[in-house]
Structure 1
Amino acid sequence: MTKDSHGDLMDHIYRHQRHFYDATRKYYLLGRDQLIEALAPPFNGTVLEIGCGTGRNLLAVRQRYPQARLFGLDISEAMLATARAQSQDRNILYARADAAAFDPQQLFGVGHFDRIFISYALSMIPPWQAVLGQVCGMLPSGGELHIVDFGQQERLPKLFRSALRAWLAWFHVTPRAELRIRLEELAHAEDACLQFTEVKGGYAWLFAMKKPAFM
Structure 2
Amino acid sequence: MQQKKKLNTNNKSLPVRLENLSKFYIEGETKHQILDSVSIDFVKSKFTVMLGKSGSGKSTILNLISGIDIPDSGDVHIDDKTITKLSEKERTLFRRDNIGIIFQFFNLIPTLTILENVTLPQELMGIESSLYLKNSKDLLEKVGMSNRLNAYPDKLSGGEQQRVAIARALAHNPSLILADEPTGNLDTQTGKIVLDLLLNLTREFGKTMIMATHSNDIIPFADEVFRLEQGKLIKSNQV
Give the TM-score, by structure 2 length.
Answer: 0.34
Of structures 1 and 2, the larger Rg is shown by: 2
Higher relative contact order (CA 8 A, sep 6+): 2
Give the TM-score, by structure 1 length.
Answer: 0.37
